[in-house]
């Protein structure tokens, strides 16, 4: 075969015709007539039920926040990358934490040594956080943290950094993921059992509502459920079900829905079925508004708002023919914009096999900027609104989401479904189903199971190289902090934290903030809570 020629898949793997169903399994008619549209469900932009968006002027009032999920090695390397990305026009930070930080281990722990700084930045104590944000004005930058099991501690650390910088807490903007329920289902960086974890989430939300009222203390995430194998409808259903569980917990704690609901936010992946994704966001926005108004009696429109950020990429990106990923990310970004996202992170094309280089990260930022400033699709609100097909597809997507949420309710609710492993098993089955469709060629992945060249090698271009001395340097800095801090103050803070954990009426957050200020480590604070609450034991279903 000559160079550049493509092999065709065997006849049994030939792509089917375009098909009659979406990737979610919703029927897609060849033609849709006006009778399929329900005007009362659509409404106007900025008006209940917010099908067409939560703002009447869309992106003309404020463009979405451009973020790049980044962080690696030590705080020094990540601080340098943040400054580079901000110089390229990124408008918000998205902090990636390494696995030891996510799981509550200090760098000296045997479980941590081999993972220090590999999938994110090592952030074991306030000293590292001070370095991470050195030279960055936190009053002018929106910061997002992808962290869950230790989210309350990292949020406390961010408040402590702001205190050190002299930045008033009420000036802080950004989001901390803090969605522990989806960790039990799809990702695995859980630490404590479900009930004390829910308490910790509620504590951080209620505390943040007063301490940092412009900061989003939770981002209820369907993203990892989607990457694990769920359909678009299931992703939204599991996410909304988790959201309702948090609302119930907050109300049980005496929270005012008109207040705390204004700072609830959501987070999703965008995959390649263009209209599925747009319909997913429009249906989710409408359904959440109805639930908040009809089930919880929220009257303030802002308490009904479904505010969400997205990642364009994730498991939809592949290592073979990696430059195709640039096109995938562009398509997904357009779907996110047309669906009304408030914050967008675009994966770099090489993210399927390495930490992005500066070159690939810059290209990912430029993708958003080209779509935002050159394509014109953000000039008007919900420009596809009123399309016969999109409105019908939105209705059917909402019906499918409602059906899945009903199945969760029928089982006994999301908490029971997680503790029993029911949702985990459903997700595993769906992931296997998706893999079989890709392996058989039924689901077409260009460059992976169709349209490949013989003996094709991955063309990666620039290669990212992680500094092999990162672990050594992180450990040296960690030991210096232990040697120079006031150990008596640390011990006092840890005792108070343990006492607060034993008292269900206490909010844990003030004790975590005090611990961060004293340079108590993530591992020490997690250990204090583990001693009171224990650890989650994952259910095993055979």
> Domains in the chain and their CATH numbers?
50-440 (3.20.20.240)
Helix axes 487-502, 509-517, angle to 10 degrees: 170
Are 102 and 189 a contacting pair, CB within 8 Å? Answer: yes
Give which of 365, 275, 295 is closest to 91, Cα–Cα.
365
CA angle 29, 31, 34 (to 5 degrees): 110
CB atoms within 10 A of CB 295: 12
Distances (CA, A) of 268 to 231, 310, 345, 350, 508: 12, 5, 10, 20, 28
Provide the H-helix boundaries in 133-216.
151-165, 180-182, 194-211
Per-residue pLDDT of 374-427, as tens digits, reads 999 999 999 999 999 999 999 999 999 999 999 999 999 999 999 899 999 999
Residue 228 has pLDDT above 50, yes or no: yes
Q: Which residue is associated with the tokens 């098909």?
A: 19
290-303 average pLDDT score: 98
Question: What percentage of residues in the chain have a pLDDT greater than 90?
Answer: 79
Cα dihedral sign, 400-38-333-66: negative
pTM of the model: 0.92
Top-confidence residue, 186 or 108: 108
Provide the H-helix boundaries in 166-231.
180-182, 194-211, 223-227
User: End-to-end CA distance of the chain, in Å?
Assistant: 48
How far is the C-alpha of 122 from the C-alpha of 100, rounded, in Å? 8
Residue 178 has pLDDT above 80, yes or no: yes
Contacts of 361 (CB under 8 A, 6+ apart): 68, 70, 81, 84, 85, 348
Residue 156: which pLDDT band, with cuts at 50, 70 and 90? very high
Residue 539: which pLDDT band, with cuts at 50, 70 and 90? confident
CB-based burial of residue 85 (10 Å sphere; 0-12 exposed, 13-18 middle, 19+ buried)?
A: buried
On average, the pLDDT of the chain sits at: 92
Residue 450 has pLDDT above 60, yes or no: yes
Per-residue pLDDT of 347-372, as tens digits, reads 999 999 888 888 999 999 999 999 99
């Amino acid at each position: 075969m000559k160079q550049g020629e493509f092999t065709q898949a065997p006849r049994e793997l030939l792509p089917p015709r375009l098909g009659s169903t979406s990737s979610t399994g919703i029927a897609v008619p060849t033609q849709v007539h006006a009778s399929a549209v329900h005007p009362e469900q659509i409404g106007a932009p900025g008006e209940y039920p917010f099908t067409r968006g939560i703002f009447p002027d869309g992106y003309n009032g404020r463009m979405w926040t451009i973020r790049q999920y980044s962080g690696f090695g030590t705080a020094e390397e990540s601080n340098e990358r943040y400054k580079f990305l901000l110089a390229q026009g990124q408008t918000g930070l998205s902090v990636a934490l390494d696995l030891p930080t996510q799981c509550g281990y200090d760098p000296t722990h045997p479980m941590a040594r081999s993972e220090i700084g590999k999938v994110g930045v090592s952030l074991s104590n306030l000293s590292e956080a001070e370095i991470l944000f050195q030279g960055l004005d936190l009053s002018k930058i929106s910061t997002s943290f992808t962290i869950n099991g230790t989210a309350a501690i990292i949020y406390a650390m961010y408040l402590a950094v702001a205190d050190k910088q002299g930045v008033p807490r009420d000036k802080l903007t950004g989001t901390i993921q803090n969605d522990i329920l989806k960790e039990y289902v799809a990702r695995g960086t859980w630490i404590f059992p479900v009930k004390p974890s829910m308490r910790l989430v509620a504590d951080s939300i209620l505390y943040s509502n007063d301490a940092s009222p412009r900061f989003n203390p939770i981002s209820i995430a369907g993203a990892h459920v989607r990457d694990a194998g769920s359909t678009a409808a299931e992703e939204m259903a599991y996410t909304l079900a988790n959201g309702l569980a948090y609302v119930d917990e907050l109300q049980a704690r005496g929270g005012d829905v008109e207040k705390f609901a204004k700072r609830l936010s959501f987070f999703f992946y965008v995959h390649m079925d263009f209209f599925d994704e747009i319909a997913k966001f429009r249906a989710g926005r409408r359904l959440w508004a109805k639930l908040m108004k009809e089930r919880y009696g929220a009257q303030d429109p802002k308490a009904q708002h479904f505010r969400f950020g997205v990642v364009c990429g994730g498991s939809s990106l592949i290592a073979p023919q990696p430059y195709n990923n640039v096109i995938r990310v562009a398509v997904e970004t357009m779907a996110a914009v047309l669906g009304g996202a408030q914050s967008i992170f675009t994966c770099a094309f090489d993210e399927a096999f390495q930490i992005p280089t500066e070159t690939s990260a810059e290209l990912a930022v430029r993708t958003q900027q080209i779509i935002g400033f050159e394509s014109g699709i953000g000039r008007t609100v919900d420009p596809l609104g009123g399309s016969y097909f999109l409105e019908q597809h939105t209705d059917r997507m909402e019906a499918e989401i409602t059906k899945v949420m009903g199945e969760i309710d029928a089982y006994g609710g999301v908490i029971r479904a997680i503790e029993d492993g029911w949702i985990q098993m459903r997700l595993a089955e769906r992931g296997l189903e998706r893999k079989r469709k890709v392996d058989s060629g039924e689901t077409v992945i260009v460059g992976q199971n169709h349209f490949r060249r013989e003996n094709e090698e991955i063309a990666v271009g620039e290669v990212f190289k992680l500094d092999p001395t990162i672990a050594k340097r992180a450990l040296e800095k960690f030991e210096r902090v232990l040697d120079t801090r006031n150990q008596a103050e640390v011990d006092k803070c840890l005792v108070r934290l343990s006492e607060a954990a034993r008292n269900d009426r206490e909010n844990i957050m003030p004790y975590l903030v005090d611990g961060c200020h004293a340079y108590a480590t993530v591992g020490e604070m997690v250990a204090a809570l583990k001693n009171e609450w224990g650890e989650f034991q994952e259910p095993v279903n055979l």
